[in-house]
């Protein structure tokens, strides 16, 4: 999945247990421009998630930002913006805590 500029996209629509979310990339933009991604929790009960990054096509992931989404209980509409972020690598959310049916969207500039 590729996040395009200005288009909100559901990343994960039915997370109900800890584990890795869908892998996504960032659509390249003109040189010299920084990116931001805004993540929003649309539903769920309890959530904690790390943003992970892979520079080898999704084989090995490392934590880029720990606990970017965290709430007990989760309030629908909770948001977090991560900046700067770069085009090229593969990203994913890794849910370390998840109860209820969690739905998360993302939008990048």
> What is the predicted pLDDT for the residue at 68?
84
pLDDT at 32: 65
Predicted confidence (pLDDT) per residue in 21-41, tens digit = 999 998 887 776 778 999 988
**Measuring CA to CA, how many Å separate 10 from each of 23, 30, 32?**
12, 25, 27
Residue 57: what pLDDT?
95
Question: What domains lie within the chain, and their CATH numbers?
Answer: 2-108 (2.60.120.1110)
Taking the complete model, does pTM exceed 0.85, yes or no? yes
* Three-class secondary structure of residue 44 per DSSP: coil
Q: Which residues of the chain have pLDDT under 50?
A: none
State residue 41's pLDDT score. 85
Output the pLDDT for position 73.
Answer: 56
């Amino acid at each position: 999945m590729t996040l395009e500029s200005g288009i909100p996209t559901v990343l994960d629509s039915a997370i109900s247990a800890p584990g890795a979310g869908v892998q996504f990339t960032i659509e390249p933009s003109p040189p010299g421009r920084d990116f931001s991604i805004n993540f929003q929790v649309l539903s769920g009960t309890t959530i904690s998630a790390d943003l992970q990054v892979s520079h080898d096509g999704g084989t090995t992931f490392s934590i880029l930002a720990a606990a970017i989404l965290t709430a007990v209980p989760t309030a629908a509409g909770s948001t977090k913006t991560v900046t700067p972020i770069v085009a090229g690598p593969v990203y994913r959310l890794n849910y370390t805590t998840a109860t209820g049916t969690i739905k998360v969207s993302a939008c990048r500039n």
